[in-house]
Amino acid sequence: MPQAILFDLDETLTDRTQSIVHYAERFQGDFADHLASTTVSTIAAALLTADVRGYRPHEEIWRDCAGRLPLRTVPAVSRLRKHWDTCFP
């Protein structure tokens, strides 16, 4: 049984913005076959806008991102969510 739970609500322990930038690099490589020509900064900007600093449910984030990202083909939201859950630092 845990004796304490630590929440980092103001990014004092981790830098969520920088973590999303790193994740955007991974996303670009892993979903290159779905993406039109784009930059990591464009992907990161879409993620940061959709993420709302971690306060949105993941399915909402990915539905929003699917509309913001320059995608040639849209992967299933469940696949995007699984990628996030597996790869987000």
- The SS3 call for residue 47 is helix
Nearest-10 crossing angle of helices 40-51, 58-68: 140
Indicate the number of domains in the chain. Answer: 1
Q: 2 lies in a domain?
A: no
Confidence of residue 36 (pLDDT cuts 50, 70, 90): very high
Number of separate helices (H) and strands (E) present in the chain: 4, 0
Q: 5 lies in a domain?
A: no
Position 57 pLDDT exceeds 90? no
Q: 6 lies in a domain?
A: no
Amino acid (one-letter) located at 15:
D
Q: What is the mean pLDDT of residues 4-24?
A: 83
For residue 68, the enclosing domain spans 16-87
Distance from C-alpha of 66 to C-alpha of 68, rounded to nearest angstrom: 6
Residue 71: strand pairing partners: 35
Q: 57 lies in a domain?
A: yes
Q: 1 lies in a domain?
A: no
Q: 55 lies in a domain?
A: yes
Q: What is the mean pLDDT of residues 47-53?
A: 87
Q: 71 lies in a domain?
A: yes
Position 44 pLDDT exceeds 90? yes
Q: 44 lies in a domain?
A: yes
Q: What is the pLDDT of residues 61-79, one digit of tens each?
A: 888 888 888 899 988 888 9
